[in-house]
Each structure stands twice: as structure tokens, then as C-alpha cells.
Amino acid sequence: MNVLSQAIKEYNLKNYQSALSLFHKAADIYGERIVEMQVKKCIEKLKKTNIDIETFTTNKTTENTLDLATNLLLANMGKLDIPSSNKLELQQKWKNLVHTKSIDAEVKRIKLIPEDFPKDLDLVPLPEGVNDFKWNLERKKRLHITQPKKENIGLSIIIPTFNRGWILSITLACLCNQKTTYPFEIIVSDDGSKEDLMPIIRKYEKKLDIKYVRQKDYGYQLCAVRNLGLRTAKYDFVSILDCDMAPNPLWVNTYIEALLEDDDVALIGPRKYVDTNNIAAEQFLQNTSLIESLPEVRTNNNVAGKSQGDISVDWRLEHFKKTDNLRLCDSPFRYFSGGNVAFAKKWLEKVGWFDEEFTHWGGEDNEFGYRLFKKGCFFRAINGGMAYHQEPPGKENETDRDAGKKVTLNIVREKVPYFYRKIEPIETAHLYRIPLVSVYIPAYNCASSIQRCVNSALNQTITDLEVCICNDGSTDNTLEVIKKLYGNNPRVKILSQENGGIASASNYAVKNASGYYIAQLDSDDYLEPDAVELCLKEFLKDRQLACVYTTNRNVNPDGTLIANGYNWPEFSREKLTTAMIVHHFRMFTARAWYLTTGFDEQIENSVDLDMYLKLSEIGPFKHINKICYNRVLHGNNTSIKKLGLQKKNHFLVVNNSLARQGIKHYHYSALDNDNASRKYTFKRNEDIIYKPVQNREKKGLAFSLVYPDHTEGLFKKLSNIIEYNPETTIIVAHINKKHLTQEILIKANQFEKEHNIKLIINFDVDYNNYKFRQIEYYLSNFQKLIESKVEFDYIVFDNFDSLYIKQNSYSHMKKYDIGMNFGKINGYWQDKILSHNTLIEWTKKFLNKDLTELSCKGTAQGVFMKIDIANAIFEMIEKFIYSYKANKDYPQYLAEEVLFQLIALIIEKQKGKKLISQTTLTHLPWERKLQWSKDQIREAKEGFGVSSNKFVINQYIF
């Protein structure tokens, strides 16, 4: 255990005097700045116990046995006395040590996708960016990762405050106006106010579930007071709301609904600036919409606001718009402003609390957000989380923001390596508390090789790195050697555990690695000096990358060449699905790793293939054709032992990868029984896409309803469905979230109880460009239907302005598999449809035809289908949507009027049998654009002018 680890251990044991001594010793090695906070805490603890504090003088180190780079880093920080001439000499020695460049690997011409890879085997699309929360939600559904059952559904709202009782009272008044059926609590967390805030708290006790916690005024302690409030929270969801941020009436409901949908997303609410200085809190209680009606003003905060004419606007709004509410942002934590955010409390267990070292304004949100980001949390800006920043009169404020930001920016650079740090030259580089790169080394009985291995990691051209060694229960003196050589090295982290195998040691090492970029190095191998730099530069050029890897050479223990390693010159996911091509040297992002289940500790071989298949499902890979890694062969390598087990697990992990992607129609199988062979074939699982369920009992009807950008007549429409379709068991209606009101929530709850059915008000997909995105709403509705677990036989795709006029549609539908209209592609959208590349490619791929040859266009209103066919259709629709999004080839036509029919034709071809079909339920005469008169409706109900197989008329306004 190194000196810093010993100090931390002593502190945790409450041996504060011993800990203080060790922290001072650590300061000689790591620098005073590294342990400044720990020393301060030890002294505070000792003062409380009235123990005399021994004094220590922290001297600059004059000599040590550290590696050259670490010596130079300490010297640059002023923690190591080296005369300038000697320093120049050391710099030159280091440059000579790392000057060797990796040589080019041999490259051959290849086909990116193997010729024998099945043409209809589509790997699941990757996210559009590292923060693609929509992709992640679909991934979780595919993997059956359900939201954990919440014991305490509700929102705990932490309101940090310091004085400013007038503004606090207005914020609490706006919380009284929340339109929600969900419970919530308020925790006013006082940072030592001089004002007496208790009268305000008592004023709202009857209106709100409110608590008050307080700490002594130690100066600016925002993080500490936030943590005080968070520790008091009783609900599963928490929110931080500054005392001057007055929430809109749907604020609580918006946050809870979004977190119930996906608690792996941290929600960020925008802000507007208003002046409430001359308005009493009672006025907000009397007028629930008052806060939203106030005019926007210019802010006094020149850090958070952006001038736009006579008002200030939230500087983040422009970026929210450009990045689809941060979905396409590569560093979303930079927009995580803690004055108005919400997240699941479980994330505090994963990443820890707000960092109380931040005792000046700014930076603490970025640092906390970065930890969320690194551990796999997503970020989403959500309009329903709008809050109104109440501007103080004049230019008064409790904090000097500009001065504070200058202080905290340095802490952020120390603790947030991703985005905030670049590659530094040796002349100015220094040690950071959180390194940019971690090289992890699982070590087992490697006493003779570990020094060369670790030194090759320390002697990299990139110095902003740590080496994280995990001793996996070695039975020789490996751990003793590691401690002796590196126990006092501030760039080496030493871990030890009972023997658990390579996967267990790797998981332990990665979980304890501090860097954002994680590099893998086996204990008997060693690196070329520029290995990390080559990979890191690729990551810095493209932040979407999940993994960068090079190639290697095989050498004897003495370093002599055996042969250059196998090199597949360009990465493709299809090739990785057939063979392990991601060889050493490998680096991946911590974020990507935390989005997987890590190394599989249940398998003994093929551990790496399994891990990199998992990572390849998370984000793109980049291959560098350089030989950067020396793989030492000595006969005991795990990769050349137990060939039979390795072969078995090779095929196992590939099939696991296919299963994770929802690919059921192919199985990856061995062609022979030779344990050394990896010859394979993809065996097709017949009838996997469509397999009818026989002899099902009557279950009932499900309705999928999409509303345009309004909600007029919603419950009249729902009542009409129930009146004429008594077999209905569930209805899901997609609406624009901005139209969601407390009244709708209450009515929906009453409607369910009155009619004894399940009613889902769905607002998952935004309404930007909604006209051409209805297929996305139908997909979202279908997913809600399946998740509900309500049983039904048929699903009907209804329209918001359709009116049912006849009974017995269910009896009619049961005679058929589907009800669709199949017409030629013509009319208004013809050119847009025939020029849509994704549609063209799918038609060619699955039907081997041109679009112009097909009859596959028809209205979506009144379409019906059996549930098992709907499952097959929407499985393909989901892939189609992913495809056009991945290629940014969005439909400019009503896709739902083509896709239902096209995919039905594909299923018929794959099944080799025609579906029993009928036209839709909807009567669509040519004069349908005219509204139906009462007389026409009466006649239609009596059967005049409406075919016997039609049950609903279109274009009726409720």
C-alpha cells in the first residue's frame, strides 16, 4: 500500500494524527496541492478532539527513485528540487527514452464485410452520439432491462438557500401550484442564513410536505448544503432547485414522468429571467399562471445569461436546439447546471455526492456531471422543466461569480480530464489528481516480467496517465515486487484481491481506474513508447469513439521477434462478429465500458472477444495500422491453452452478442470439431420473424391513436371507441407533451376506472416535424402496449378525427390476419417516396424489386392486424427507423402509409405464404375532406353508402 493509501486508511480509522503525518509525507511525493484538502480535514478533526497537533514541514524532495517522467512532473510543480541544468538533462534523457516510433503494420486489401456474412443479418444500429438517450432507451428495452420497481415514487426537491427569504417564498408558492398526481417533498437546505427563515417554512407547512435542514455558516458551502438536503431525501427521484428558480406548474410532473420512463437520464431544465421584486408570494398562490406570464428581463449574472436585445436568455438554449436537447452532444455534463436538475437517487450510490472541495462559485456541477457521464448516465434537456430565475434588485448577489469561477476552473481541470485537458509537452506537464488515461494491468504470478511491463506504461510520450495494477492473488512474490518498485510512485495505483481470474481482476482494475480513457496491458507484455499517444489522438479527434486499437508483434521473453501479429487493416462490426480482429494494443472509454456488463467472470477463455463485442455494440471503433504492442509468448499464455474451451466460448460469446442485439433468425455455429479451427457458418432459424400462434383464446382489442399538435376532443374520441368496440382492453394515445395538463391526467385516471380498461397517455416522442414522424409515434405506442402486459389479439391504428358508427368490428377482424389498403405509389408524395434511399435499399434487399413495381401505399387510418404479426412488423419498423436515422436519411413523406404495407409484403416472402388480408376499417370516400354532416352520420349508422366491412368514417371533428 503506497503512502497516500495508508494515509486514507488511517483517516477512515479515525487515526487523524497518523493520517496527518502520512498526508504530509504524501505531499513530498505528490505535491501539496494533491493533499491540501485532506490535510485541512485532519486538522479540523484534531481541533475538535482537543489533541495537540504535531507540526510538520513539507520539504521539497531532492532525490528519489521514481521514473524520469514522474520526476519531471514533480519538478514542474515545484515539488522536486532539480537544478535547471539537470532538469534539461533529464528532459533530454526522457525524450531519448521515448523517441522510438511504432512501425507500420502490413496492410492488405480486404472486403469490409465478409462475403459469407448473411445479407439479411442487420446488426443493431449504433447511437448517433455518446449521449443518445433515445438509443439507450431502445437498447434497454431490447435487453429487457426494465425500470427497477420504485418503493418510493416521488420527487424530493432540494432547495439550497442563503438568506433571500422573499425569493424563497415565491419559489415555494410556485411549488404549491404544481399540477401532478405524484407525491413530492420540499427540503429547504440552509447554508447558515442570517435571516430567520422559519416563519416562511411554517407558512407553507399546510400546503406542502416541507422539511428544513440547516448547517452553520462556514462561508460558501453550496455542495455541502446540497448534500445535507440529499441525505434527507425520502423519494427515489431527487431534484436540485435553487431558491431563486420558480418552477412552472408542470415542473414536478414533467420530471417524474421522464424519470419513470428512464432513470438513467439526468434531466436539465432551461431557465428564463424574470423580476419578481415587487410581487408578493400570495399573488402567485392566487394566480397559478402568473410566473409564466411575467416579462423576461436582463440578468445581472454575466456568467449564466446571454444578452439578446433588452433581455437575457439561457446561454444553453441554442446548444439544446442544435443537439436535439443534448442527445447529440459529446460533453453534455457541461450543461448540467445544478440550479434546476433532476435524477434518480441511485446515481448518488454510483458516483458519490457533490464534491465539497468546491467552496467558490461554479465548477461543482461540471465535476459532478462528469462523474455521472463517466459512469454511464445520459443527459437530457427537457422543456417541461422550465424554471424562472428571479433576478435580485440592482447588482446584488451573494457570490462573486467571476472571481469564484477563476478559482474553481483550476479544480475542474484537476478533476475533469475529459474535454478540459489536452496533450501537454514534458516541459510544462504536471501531475493531475484525476489522470486522463489509466493503463490497467491484471497481474498473476508475474514477478519476473512486471517491471518491464509497468515501466513501458510509465515511459509513454503521454504523461497524463496512471498505471493501475491488480494483483490477482499471486502465489509468488509478485505483490512484494510491485510494492517495492512502485509503492511510492504517485502515478501507480496498486490493488490486490483473492484470485478470481482474468475477468475478475480486469473488472476490479477498471472500476478503480481514475482515467476516462482506459488502456489494457497484460502483465507479461510491454508497449512501444507512443502507443497511448497514437490512440489518444484518435479519441480526441472523434469523441464518439468507444474503442481505438492498434496491432502487435509476438516476441520471445528476451524480446526477440517471433512474428508480427495478425492484422485486419480496417474495423467492421460484421468482421468482428465472425473473428477476433481487435487485438492489442486496445484503449476504450470508461463511459462505454460502464454501459456494458463488464468482463464476464463466468467464462474462462474468450473473455476479451466477449468484452470487445459488448463495446462494439455501444459505439464506433477505430483501428490504427501500427505495431505498438509486444506480446510475449512463453507457452503459458491463456490464449494458447485450453483450445477446446476457448473454441466453445468463442461461439458462445458471439451468439450472446447476436442475442443482445435482438437477432433471433441466425445462429453462429462451428463448421468442424477441430479445437484450433474457427471455421463458422450462420445457420438460419426458420420462421423466427413470423410464427403464428395457434388456438389462442379471445383476448380483445388494442387501439393505437396518434394526436396531432392539439388535444381537442380527446376524451370524446376515446368514449366513441369504447361505445362501438366493447371488446377493447387497452388504448394508447400519443400526444404532444406540451399539451399535457393536470386536467388530462385526472380525466385519464377517471376514464380507466369508469370503463375498466387500460389507458396510456404517451408523449415519449417530441413533435418536431411531427407530420413526417408518425411512424415513430406508432412504434412508441406499440412498445407501450407490449410493456403494459395487457392481453389483446388485434391492434387497430385509429385516427384522432375518425368516428365509429357500427358495432362488431372485432368479429369482422378475426377472419383476417391484417387489414390494409395496397395501392400503387402515386399522387402527392410519389416523388418523395421514390427518392427515399433507405426505402429503396430495403425494397431491393428484402424483395429484390424496385419501388415502382410494388403496390404498397395506403392510408394508416383503420389498419388492423393480429398481435403476432404486429410484433414482426414493428420489429422491422424499429430497424428501418434506426437505419434512416443512422444515415440521416429522414422520410419527407407520410412513412406510415408505405411501411406497414411494405413490411407485410416482406413477411409474406419470408414466410412463403400469403397473409389473409382485407381492406382497412375506414370509409374514405373522395369527398372525405368535407366534414360529415349530422344527416350523413345518421345515414352511415343506418348503413347507407357505407360498405358492410367499414366501421368508422373519417374527417369528423368532435
Res 336 pLDDT > 50 = yes
The strand order across the sheet containing 952-953 reads 803-804, 952-953, 922-923
Residue 681 has which C-alpha cell? Answer: 457458418
Range 306-313 average pLDDT: 74
492 beta partners? 467
**pLDDT computed for residue 507 by the predictor:** 95
Nearest CA among 115, 71, 267, 243 for reference residue 169: 243
Q: Of 54-58, 206-210, 627-631, 813-817, which range is least confident?
A: 54-58
Range 398-405 average pLDDT: 56
Range 21-34 average pLDDT: 72
Amino acid at 558: D
Res 949 pLDDT > 60 = yes
Query: Do the beta carbons of residue 708 and residue 793 sit within 8 Å?
Result: no
**pLDDT computed for residue 282 by the predictor:** 93
439-469: pLDDT as tens digits: 999 999 999 899 999 999 999 999 999 999 9
Q: Per-residue confidence at 303, pLDDT binned at 50, 70, 90?
A: low
**pLDDT computed for residue 692 by the predictor:** 39
Question: What phi and psi, each to the nearest 5 degrees, are found at residue 267?
Answer: -100, 140
CATH of domain 437-637: 3.90.550.10
Query: Do the beta carbons of residue 388 and residue 269 sit within 8 Å?
Result: no
Residue found by looking up cell 407558512 in the block: 203
**pLDDT computed for residue 531 by the predictor:** 96
Distance (Å, whole) CA 164 – CA 782: 49
**pLDDT computed for residue 332 by the predictor:** 96
Residue found by looking up cell 433468425 in the block: 665
Query: Do the beta carbons of residue 260 and residue 147 sit within 8 Å?
Result: yes
Q: Is 899 exposed, middle or buried (0-12, 13-18, 19+ CB in 10 A)?
A: buried
Sequence-separated (6 or more) residues with CB below 8 Å from residue 664: 685, 688
In this structure, how many other beta carbons lie within 10 angstroms of the beta carbon of residue 130? Answer: 22
Domain ranges of the chain: 3-97, 155-415, 437-637, 701-953
More confident residue, 783 or 360: 783
Distance (Å, whole) CA 642 – CA 30: 44
Residue 472 has which C-alpha cell? Answer: 490477482
Range 753-759 average pLDDT: 91
CA dihedral angle for residue 548, residue 550, residue 552, residue 558, rounded to 10 degrees: -80
Range 522-527 average pLDDT: 94
**pLDDT computed for residue 635 by the predictor:** 62
Q: Per-residue confidence at 746, pLDDT binned at 50, 70, 90?
A: confident
Residue found by looking up cell 475529459 in the block: 418
137-165: pLDDT as tens digits: 999 988 887 766 667 899 999 999 998 89
In this structure, how many other beta carbons lie within 10 angstroms of the beta carbon of residue 908? Answer: 17
More confident residue, 730 or 45: 730
Is 701-953 the same fold as 155-415?
yes
160-188: pLDDT as tens digits: 999 889 999 999 999 999 998 999 999 99
Distance (Å, whole) CA 822 – CA 736: 30
Q: Per-residue confidence at 58, pLDDT binned at 50, 70, 90?
A: very low
- Which three-class secondary structure state does DSSP give residue 564? strand
Distance (Å, whole) CA 63 – CA 799: 80
Q: Per-residue confidence at 691, pLDDT binned at 50, 70, 90?
A: very low
Topology at the third CATH level for domain 701-953: Spore Coat Polysaccharide Biosynthesis Protein SpsA; Chain A (3.90.550)
Residue found by looking up cell 429522414 in the block: 890
**pLDDT computed for residue 152 by the predictor:** 84
Cα–Cα separations (whole angstroms), residue 543 to 239, 319, 374, 625: 29, 17, 13, 20
Amino acid at 528: E
**pLDDT computed for residue 757 by the predictor:** 92
DSSP 429-487: ----SS-SEEEEEEESS-TTTHHHHHHHHHSSS--SEEEEEEEE--SSSHHHHHHHHHT
796-811: pLDDT as tens digits: 999 888 888 888 899 8
**pLDDT computed for residue 928 by the predictor:** 45
Range 594-618 average pLDDT: 92
**pLDDT computed for residue 687 by the predictor:** 46
**pLDDT computed for residue 682 by the predictor:** 87
Q: State percent of the chain over pLDDT 70.
A: 91
Q: How far apart are the first and last CA of the chain?
A: 75
Res 624 pLDDT > 80 = yes
**pLDDT computed for residue 696 by the predictor:** 38
Nearest CA among 405, 293, 295, 292 for reference residue 358: 405
Nearest CA among 850, 796, 819, 788 for reference residue 915: 819
Q: Per-residue confidence at 958, pLDDT binned at 50, 70, 90?
A: low
Range 681-696 average pLDDT: 56
Q: Which CATH class is domain 155-415?
A: alpha beta
Res 639 pLDDT > 70 = no
Residue 187 has which C-alpha cell? Answer: 427540503
701-726: pLDDT as tens digits: 999 999 887 888 899 999 999 999 99
Query: Do the beta carbons of residue 780 and residue 706 sit within 8 Å?
Result: no
More confident residue, 171 or 942: 171
Query: Do the beta carbons of residue 803 and residue 861 sit within 8 Å?
Result: no
Chain centroid to CA 389? 28
Q: Of 215-224, 247-256, 654-663, 929-938, which range is least confident?
A: 929-938
- Count the alpha carbons within 13 Å of 314 in the hemisphere toward its beta carbon: 25
Average per-residue pLDDT for the chain = 87
More confident residue, 791 or 640: 791
Query: Do the beta carbons of residue 111 and residue 571 sit within 8 Å?
Result: no
Give the DSSP letter of residue 100. Answer: P
CA dihedral angle for residue 517, residue 523, residue 524, residue 526, rounded to 10 degrees: 30
Query: Do the beta carbons of residue 436 and residue 517 sit within 8 Å?
Result: yes
CA dihedral angle for residue 305, residue 176, residue 742, residue 265, rounded to 10 degrees: 50
Q: Of 29-38, 866-875, 914-923, which range is least confident?
A: 29-38
User: Which strand (E) or helix (H) includes residue 898?
Assistant: helix 896-911
**pLDDT computed for residue 386 by the predictor:** 93
Q: Of 296-310, 560-574, 733-747, 939-953, which range is least confident?
A: 296-310
Distance (Å, whole) CA 804 – CA 149: 38
Range 230-250 average pLDDT: 94
425-439: pLDDT as tens digits: 999 999 999 999 999
Res 64 pLDDT > 70 = no
Q: Per-residue confidence at 92, pLDDT binned at 50, 70, 90?
A: very high
438 beta partners? 466, 518
